[in-house]
Chain A
Amino acid sequence: MAEEVVDVLVIGAGAAGAAFAWSLADTRMRIVCLEQGDWMNPLDYPSTRTSWDGERFGAFGLSPNGRGRREDYPVNDRESPIQVSNFNAVGGSTILYAAHFPRFHPSDFRVRSLDSVALDWPIDYATLAPWYDVNARMMGVAGLAGDPAYPPKEPPLPPVPLGVLGETLARGFNRLGWHWWPSDSAIATREHAGRAPCINLGPCLLGCAQGAKGSTDVTYWPAAIRAGVELRTHCRVREITVDARGMADGVIYYDAEGRERRQRAEIVVLACNGVGTPRLLLHSRSAAFPDGLANRSGLVGKNLMFHPYGMVTGIFPEPLEGYKGPTGCCIISQEFYETDASRGFLRGYSFEMVRGMGPVSTALLAMTTGRVDWGAGHHAAYQEMWDRTAGMVVICEDLPEECNTVTLDPELVDADGIPAPRITYRLSENSQRMLAHGVARGRDVLEAAGAVDTFTDAPLRPAGWHLMGTARMGTDPETSVVNDWGRCHDVKNLFIVDGSVFVTSAAVNPTNTIQALALHSADAIKRNLANLFD
């Protein structure tokens, strides 16, 4: 029997792959998605157990290197001050993300023109605006219209409650006269598209047992599957293959039993995030592409951007109910977002408030910062911190640098023997100055809000959630990997729709923009079907 050739093969069922597959399902083409992880069962998430707060240090930890799941792949991030914190399952890293869901600013697409650094994007805010709107409906975005930091937008759901903690910090910003706004959050604050409303469980970063958080296993995937997309789990792709013309003709993957399989396709779409995508391209070598597939520019795996994070924590005299409510979705400040060269750095950063500290995490924070010791004084010192800490993170824009890379590790492999990615990364001087500025201003906010003491941690090592830039888009094949709708310059039936294609990183969580770009790419494919490979 002849091998089946599907029309479109999507690799990766996370934020981007889900949005892309759902959109392209309109075409009624035969679409198959291969995902190395499995479906998650929300009733298995830690918030269903009294041990929830301690489980963030084990099987639900941030780093794939510490979780011990076969579905994950290891990452050698020893040569980076920031560790990769991704997750592999249907839903990808949206399973454990905070669902903080801001858009990019218009200026984020014109970095070179406005600030004479990095590069401009080949698209602008207006290109993505309609796709941000579609994504807001599909992911269920809660927020409040009227934010002076953005062009007009209308989140479809009411904002997440601020609670005591959010109100306390908001008053701190007001005392300083600084910008803040209720966060745009991919969290159903009322029933939305069959999803139950948020009940303020707290530990969003451990998965949402309520199903209120917009992870793509509960948003795009049910709709995409109803529309005819086939999703195969426990399928780990080893390499993308090419035909004699240098066009992608399918993939070789390992199934749940570790058996080698082949899937042929007319179009191959990569949606594996800013580390997984260059890993797979670099591992897909052939006579036509000896340096990795679609890598004639030499830029695959280069220009890796994280967002350098700083954590600023304040201790307050009164209880804050900080263990309640979405962890990372409360309020945002973009007082220092746009460039002001007098600050000593270019570009800027956001502040995001953090909650979700339970009794265990409070104790461990107290221990690691040396603020609570063991012995006779333990309880009195602990009581000064329990439910009295408020955190905020500084999220700095990272600029692309070719020295920050994803390469293939010569020794480390995943459970199927595929080489693991190796991260080589350092913070630029601009990032370091920006981070120092943000941490100092964060202390100002907490003190203005009434904190009696503050402490900081920067750069925050576990904060490698945002993986961007390693196969960037552009109009020139010499300086970019894909065009302005995700088609590889070198392989015209190969598309990349994840954070790899980012030209710059902005200073906000990228998932909303990743998905808006995936919808934009799918739309462009639909509009160009007649001459897709020209």
Chain B
Amino acid sequence: MSGANFDDRERAALRALLDTLVPPGADGRMPGAGELGLAETIEEKLGALRPLVGRGLAELDERARARGGESFAALAPDERAAVVAEHSAGDPAFVPGLLFQAYVHYYQHDRVVAALGLEPRPPHPLGYALAQPDLDALLAPVRAGPKRYREA
């Protein structure tokens, strides 16, 4: 049962759930959320919600056992997805709440940022180059148009 911290079983379920929500990409370019060590980061951010999430993870394990599995983490990826979908039908808030945290931490992880084609660095201090098109040419039709304000 959930206390101050998740136990090993809950952490395994959370890692498996993260990999179910954001699985590894089919072409191997994008990592799965579970393999990035996000479970520990997200656990720290849950605060008062930890018992609630712990209950949700326990329910995933129960549903996995009802299907004959040892635990949610031990199921095959397709079966995990089916269990999460089944659980979401009865508890529509559980997955979106966790998904918010998963996306925030997944999409700022260096490996993911690099896989998206960006340099894994903060914007400052290097910044970015940005092109200025030929404004004279682009604005020619606007300049040729009428005055757009009223005298008052």
Contact = CB atoms under 8 A, between A and B. Distances in A.
Given A360-B108, A367-B96, A386-B116, A210 B127 contact: yes
Contacts of A40: none
Contacts of A335: 148
Nearest to B102: A374
Listed residue (B21, B23, B116, B152) with the most chain A CB atoms within 10 angstroms of its CB:
B152
A125 B23 CA distance: 58
B103 A360 contact: yes
A51 B108 contact: yes
Interface string A172-189: 011001011110000000
Contact of B148 (A45, A57, A179, A359): A179
Classify chain A: how many residues form its interface, as a range.
Answer: 35 or more
A47 B22 CA distance: 26
B23 A375 contact: yes
A454 interface: no
B139 A359 contact: no
A203 interface: yes
A163 B118 CA distance: 17
A209 interface: yes
Contacts of B125: 48, 199, 209-210
A50 B30 contact: no
A202 B129 CA distance: 11
A180 B110 contact: no
B71 interface: no
A94 B6 CA distance: 42
B19 to A, nearest CB: 11
Contacts of A232: none
Interface string B26-46: 100010000000000000000
A201 B128 contact: yes
A217 interface: no
B112 interface: yes
B118 A359 contact: yes
B81 A376 contact: yes
A106 B100 contact: no
A166 B103 CA distance: 27
Contact of A54 (B108, B148, B149): B108
A396 to B, nearest CB: 17
A360 B118 CA distance: 13
Contact of B108 (A50, A164, A323): A50
Interface string A128-145: 000000000000000010
A114 interface: yes
Contacts of B110: 50
A101 B148 CA distance: 18
A114 B124 contact: no
A54 B105 contact: yes
A338 B103 contact: no
A334 interface: yes
B152 A113 contact: yes
Given A338-B148, A359-B108, A209 B128 contact: no
Contacts, number: 173
Contacts of A218: none
Contacts of A198: 127
Interface in A47-61: 47-54, 57
B122 interface: yes
B104 interface: yes
The majority secondary structure among interface residues of chain A is: loop
Contacts of B120: 50
B74 interface: no
B30 to A, nearest CB: 5
Contacts of A125: 152
Contact of A53 (B25, B81, B108): B108
Contacts of B113: 50, 359
Contacts of B122: 47-50, 52
Contacts of A53: 107-108
Contacts of A162: 131-133, 135, 138
A324 interface: yes
Nearest to B120: A50
B97 to A, nearest CB: 11
Given A105-B149, A374-B20, A167 B128 contact: no
Interface stretch (A7-15, A148-156, A242-250, A273-281): A148-156
Nearest to B146: A148
A159 interface: yes
A113 B151 CA distance: 12
Contacts of A110: 152
A188 to B, nearest CB: 13
Nearest to B121: A50
A149 B150 CA distance: 9
Contacts of B143: 146, 148
B130 A324 contact: yes
B22 A106 contact: no
A52 B123 contact: yes
A203 B108 CA distance: 14
A161 B21 contact: no
A321 interface: yes
A378 B77 CA distance: 14
A182 B112 CA distance: 34
B141 interface: yes
A113 B112 CA distance: 57
Given A52-B122, A161-B131, A202-B128, A367 B99 contact: yes
A159 B23 contact: no
A321 B141 contact: no
12 contacts: A50-B113, A50-B120, A51-B108, A53-B108, A54-B107, A171-B138, A174-B141, A179-B145, A181-B139, A209-B125, A337-B148, A374-B20
Interface of A: 45, 47-54, 57, 105-107, 109-110, 113-114, 124-125, 144, 146, 148-151, 159, 161-164, 166-167, 170-171, 173-174, 177, 179-182, 198-203, 209-210, 321, 323-325, 334-335, 337-338, 358-360, 362-364, 367, 374-376, 378-379, 386-387
Given A106-B152, A167-B133, 14 more contacts: A48-B125, A49-B122, A50-B120, A173-B142, A199-B125, A201-B124, A202-B123, A210-B124, A321-B130, A325-B130, A363-B107, A364-B104, A375-B21, A376-B81
Q: Top 6 closest A-B pairs, CB basis? A: A199-B127, A359-B107, A149-B148, A201-B123, A363-B103, A110-B152
